[in-house]
Structure 1
Amino acid sequence: SPDSANRINTKCLCCKKSARYAPLSSTQSKLLDMLEDATEQLMLYKDFDSSFHVCERGLESLAHAEEEDVRGELKAGFCIVGIQALAELNQWPGVLAWVCQHYEHEEDIPAKILQMCILLYAKVGEPAAVKEATQVWLRNPSNRGLQGFRTVAELYLLHVLLPLELTDQARELVVGELGRATFTEEQQQTALDIIEEEEREKKQQQKLSSFLIHVTCALTVHWNLLHTGSLLHKVEALLRLTCRRLTSASGFFPFHKLILAALILYMLLLRLDPALPSSFVWISKLHQLLRQMWNVMVAPYYRARKD
């Protein structure tokens, strides 16, 4: 959930509005009371579901209200409290869609609300969710004169583009037309230094990952060879024992069936694919073993009959 430092102090907000817009209409007083109630439910009673539903009712009432003097501030207040309630309810995936539901266009979202959305999605590790909306908002010329424009650009750079490893877009943001109009030269240089440091760290991580993959593959191959070699010795010992047991009965035993069974057993145990080059070594060893069995069991009998 967002830090408590980001939470709006609605009571103070209500006092300021009461002083600025006095006397308040009945509709305005009702909406201010609802906003205060939503904040108390959120911060004092930790009843996040009730707080969100109060915000929903307040925004629905605002949509039908005719007074325009405090409508923007009240709408922003309900949205800020509602965002925090959704975050506390672990319903953060729907925050941006909920905000866009109450603002017709993404570029119309107030700067402070967009800042909260960026920080929220960055905190949960999903900066890509807010990338497109922030990009649209920054490209809108009418937003460049807003007080929070630079803050939105900074958060977009640090918490969206860099975590997504979009260093080219980050550099374009800093040195492009938008960056020149938003940041001072010192701020631009600081941002470029941060981008270069991020690129260096990325290259080091890639080298480390490549090294670890290479070592892991080498260890895996070595282990497989050891395991396969041990299994091969066991299979050879089993076949040699069978050979000795069947030597006396070689004239009556269907030897071709034995050879076929040994071949199938050998390939099943070792899970060999005869089409793979890596299988040639083991097939060659099997061939040698079968030739040895032939020489011991069948060759003497075959030569005797031939003579």
Structure 2
Amino acid sequence: MSSPTVSGDFTVVFKTPLSSTQSKLLDMLEDATEQLMLYKDFDASFHVCERGLESLAHEEEEDVRGELKAGFCIVGIQALAELNRWPGVLSWVRQHYGHQEDIPAKILQMCILLYAKVGEPAAVKEATQVWLRNPSNRGLQGFRTVAELYLLHVLLPLELTDQARELVVGDLGCATFTEEQQQTARDIIEQEEREKKARDVTRDCSLRPENASTQGSLLHKVEALLRLTCRRLTSASGFFPFHKLILAALILYMLLLRLDPVLPSSFVWISKLHQLLRQMWNIMTAPYYRARKD
């Protein structure tokens, strides 16, 4: 399996002069970026990010710490993806942010794209759902992008069209998307539902030959059993009324097949039963010499 890569903006811009400690941390971030982008030493890049995140514990300025932390996490995510260690990305991010609803929007966007790329959107579903439901995140700049990625790369690939529609037309969607965006999202959801129905029909058709073969085998066995029963009971027709004989054959047929006359698949069985009952009628009502020949 090739290493999954994700792109992200890990440029960190500060509006105020940096202290010596902050400059050192920024140098570490640049070193991690060079190891990742220039030298392709993904393991070294990740370990630099780890050391940088540990050093951030002593940083007091909240804004500086937040920017540097996001930068180290973005580079670290890319390094883990290149190392094919993507299953541990989300847990690693949670480890440094504590609560999943506190993950920055741009980092959560990267996680969604990464897990979608490797075909595991379910791994990030719960974390994204919790993040979107947190009222403090609704005013963030990247909130709408997270909601869009969640819809397109998590809910729809998982065929959760009901949840996708609720996301779009619910209170969250009305507060997040414009009317035009909502309509576009509804069109996408409806298209996905049509494609899902088409896939279901294709899957049923692919299974039909095997089912038809099984039904045909069972039909031959039941037909043979009924013919044998017919021959045995023909000799005793003088002792059993004919209508009871027909009723017994019908009950036997229904019990063996548990036939539901409403189902389209039952038409073949009902037709075959009708033919057999007509044969039994001809045998029972025909002259003796014809019954013996049959």
Give TM-score, length-normalised by structure 2. Answer: 0.64
| Change beyond 3 A, Cα 1:186–1:51 | same
Work out the CA distance in 2 between the residues paired with 1:191 and 1:294: 63
**Residue 16 of structure 1 aligns with which residue?**
none
Shift of 1:65: 2.4
Shift of 1:63: 1.7
Shift of 1:231: 20
CA RMSD of aligned residues (A): 8.1
Instruction: State which drifts further: 68-77 or 52-61.
Output: 68-77
**Contact 1:174–1:188, Cα closer than 8 Å, also in 2:** yes
Shift of 1:302: 32
Cα shift readout 1:246-284 (whole Å, capped 9, x = no counterpart): 999999999999999999999999999999999999999
| Change beyond 3 A, Cα 1:255–1:99 | same
The yes-or-no answer on 1:306 pairing with 2:290 is no
Q: 1 or 2 for the larger relative contact order (CA 8 Å, sep ≥6)?
A: 2
The yes-or-no answer on 1:146 pairing with 2:140 is yes
SS at match of 1:251: coil
Work out the CA distance in 2 between the residues paired with 1:301 and 1:275: 39
Runs (5+) with no aligned partner, structure 2: 1-14, 198-204
**Residue 241 of structure 1 aligns with which residue?**
228
**Contact 2:128–2:150, Cα closer than 8 Å, also in 1:** yes
| Change beyond 3 A, Cα 1:158–1:294 | closer
| Change beyond 3 A, Cα 1:257–1:57 | farther
Shift of 1:67: 3.4
| Change beyond 3 A, Cα 1:251–1:61 | same
Work out the CA distance in 1 between the residues paired with 2:246 and 2:192: 63
The yes-or-no answer on 1:42 pairing with 2:36 is yes
| Change beyond 3 A, Cα 1:298–1:147 | closer
Aligned residues: 273
SS at match of 1:274: coil
| Change beyond 3 A, Cα 1:266–1:54 | farther
The yes-or-no answer on 1:100 pairing with 2:94 is yes
Work out the CA distance in 2 between the residues paired with 1:281 and 1:202: 29
| Change beyond 3 A, Cα 1:232–1:41 | same
**Contact 2:284–2:291, Cα closer than 8 Å, also in 1:** no
**Contact 2:283–2:290, Cα closer than 8 Å, also in 1:** no
| Change beyond 3 A, Cα 1:236–1:120 | closer
| Change beyond 3 A, Cα 1:48–1:252 | farther
**Contact 1:250–1:298, Cα closer than 8 Å, also in 2:** no
Cα shift readout 1:149-192 (whole Å, capped 9, x = no counterpart): 00000000000000000000000000000000000000000000
% identity of equivalent residues: 91
Work out the CA distance in 1 between the residues paired with 2:95 and 2:19: 27
Instruction: State which drifts further: 295-304 or 132-141.
Output: 295-304
**Contact 1:131–1:160, Cα closer than 8 Å, also in 2:** yes
**Residue 285 of structure 1 aligns with which residue?**
272
Of 58, 61, 65, which residue of structure 1 is paired with 2:59?
Answer: 65
Instruction: State which drifts further: 264-273 or 69-78.
Output: 264-273
Shift of 1:68: 2.8
The yes-or-no answer on 1:262 pairing with 2:246 is no
SS at match of 1:273: coil
SS at match of 1:249: coil
Work out the CA distance in 1 between the residues paired with 2:189 and 2:260: 49
| Change beyond 3 A, Cα 1:48–1:282 | same
Structure of larger gyration radius: 1
**Contact 1:228–1:270, Cα closer than 8 Å, also in 2:** no
Alignment of 1:165-180 (within 5 A): 165-180=159-174
Work out the CA distance in 1 between the residues paired with 2:153 and 2:135: 22
Shift of 1:66: 2.8
Work out the CA distance in 1 between the residues paired with 2:162 and 2:237: 76
Runs (5+) with no aligned partner, structure 1: 1-20, 204-216
